Amino acid sequence: YESQWRMIQMIGPSDNEYIYINFREFEYDIKWEFPRENLEFGQVLGYGAFGKVMNATAYGINNAGDSVQVAVKMLKEKPDASEKDALMSELKMMTHIGSHENIVNLLGACTLSGKLKLISCYGGDGTGMSQFIKGLFLWCFSSVLAGILLEEDSAALKIRGLCFYSCYKYEEVRGKLILLIIFTDKIKNASTQVDEEEDFNVLTFEDLLYFSYQVAKGMEFLESKSCIHRDLAARNILVTHGKVVKICDFGLARDVMNDSNYIVRGNARLPVKWMAPESLFERTYTMKSDVWSYGILLWEIFSLGVNPYPGIQVDTNFYKLIQSGFKMDQPYYATKDVYCMMQSCWALDSRKRPSFSCLVSSLASQLAEA
């Protein structure tokens, strides 16, 4: 196991002249320690080959007497020494990165007398948003973007299901009002029933821009900390109260062996369709390779959750397409400006890709005009 997020130190003028910072030798700041007896565990949010993430209530983690919903990352039973070292290194790295509204922030850790646990925020504290949703919600972005269609010409506002992944073509959704269902049930038992008054909200083009802007802001922050993500995709973005999005790393809690987004390449399973050419062919990861992945994420957002490169199998021909400069078509819900931004992220020469600061500036301008 290793965290996808890595902090780097540049050792030359080129993007690929860097070394990974090894946090194994860093001291853990005990101020992050949280008493494990103050955690009350709920449901499992996700699990994988190396461990799991669980929902919990943390009593007194911010202020004495309060209780906060948190996500707790932990290793499997009887982890080996290298896995413990890797999770401890991740903890030390997260304490160095610091906090930002658009990343899943570390709140504390349990390192003493028991299994190592990392405690992170879990979708906000649920205050101030009662008019938007009943209670706390937390959703993987790609699940949120699977919504419903209201037939606009139906007096009864007939609702029918829509899968945005493969079964509908763009022509079939033109002229329809795209709605977003916010489920308040537990994630694994989420119902598809719609409460017409309270359980859904309109998802607008401005919302899509705002999602994109927030991810760019979070990545701009990570870029400022010399931190690369290496697996930026809709599945690693969480949507919380007020349509605030947070970047995370679900690697430990994802079953990549059974996730079709991760393709065997060499001796590893990799998110091939999101990876920049230099990462695919040279195993080089930089902030500019994260920019390429961000372009793929934009395509996911403005196609409303369609898997990238629809209908194209990952095989020898796919790799040739990427090397030749092939780019996906403009998604139906993207404007020309948004699509131009995607294309700039997919420049074969990484030096010609925009920085996240440039992307933030461009999206801020587009939001102001929306």
Q: Are 5 and 228 in contact (CB under 8 A)?
A: yes
Would you give the DSSP letter of residue 104? -
Of residues 48 and 89, more confidence is placed in 89
Dihedrals φ, ψ of 72, to 5°?
Answer: -115, 120
Q: What is the mean pLDDT of the chain?
A: 76
The reported pLDDT for the residue numbered 303 is 87
Q: Are 298 and 338 in contact (CB under 8 A)?
A: yes
- The token duo for 257 is 């062996």
Q: Compute the average pLDDT of residues 326-349.
A: 96
- Residue 199 falls in the annotated catalytic set: no
**Is residue 311's pLDDT more than 60?**
yes
**Is residue 193's pLDDT more than 80?**
no
Q: Compute the average pLDDT of residues 3-32.
A: 83
**CATH architecture of the domain with range 205-233+271-369:** Orthogonal Bundle (1.10)
| Confidence band, pLDDT 50/70/90 cuts, at residue 2 | low
Greatest mean pLDDT among 57-66, 121-130, 213-222 lies in 213-222
- The token duo for 303 is 């196609």
**Annotated domain spans of the chain:** 6-121, 130-150+161-189+198-203, 205-233+271-369
Residues 6+ apart with CB under 8 A from 272: 262, 263, 265, 280, 314, 318
**Is residue 111's pLDDT more than 80?**
yes
The reported pLDDT for the residue numbered 310 is 93
- The token duo for 251 is 């690697």
Q: Compute the average pLDDT of residues 21-36.
A: 91
Tens digit of each residue's pLDDT (9 = 90 or more) over 197-216: 333 355 678 888 999 999 99
**Is residue 50's pLDDT more than 80?**
no
Residues 6+ apart with CB under 8 A from 342: 295, 298, 299, 327, 328, 330, 334
**Is residue 78's pLDDT more than 70?**
yes
**Is residue 11's pLDDT more than 70?**
yes
The reported pLDDT for the residue numbered 264 is 62
Lowest mean pLDDT across 103-112, 119-128, 195-204, 357-366? 195-204
Strand ranges in 5-50 using DSSP code E only, listed in sequence order: 6-10, 18-20, 39-47
The reported pLDDT for the residue numbered 150 is 39
Tens digit of each residue's pLDDT (9 = 90 or more) over 237-290: 887 877 888 898 755 445 545 566 767 666 667 889 999 999 999 988 999 999
64 is in an annotated binding site: no
Identified catalytic residue from 80, 195, 231, 290: 231
Q: For residues 139 and 68, give the distance between their C-alpha atoms in angstroms, rounded to a whole number.
A: 18
Tens digit of each residue's pLDDT (9 = 90 or more) over 346-365: 999 999 999 999 999 999 99
236 is in an annotated binding site: yes
Residue owning tokens 């038992």: 189
Position 74, amino acid: M
47 is in an annotated binding site: yes
For the chain, give me the number of helices (H) and strands (E)? 8, 17
The reported pLDDT for the residue numbered 265 is 66
C-beta atoms surrounding 155 within 10 Å: 6
Q: Compute the average pLDDT of residues 37-63.
A: 87
The reported pLDDT for the residue numbered 160 is 33
53 is in an annotated binding site: yes
**CATH architecture of the domain with range 6-121:** 2-Layer Sandwich (3.30)
283 is in an annotated binding site: no
Long-range contacts of 35-40 (CB under 8 A, 24+ apart): 35/110, 36/110, 36/114, 36/117, 39/70, 39/72, 39/110, 39/117, 39/119
235 is in an annotated binding site: yes
Q: Are 140 and 133 in contact (CB under 8 A)?
A: no
The reported pLDDT for the residue numbered 279 is 93
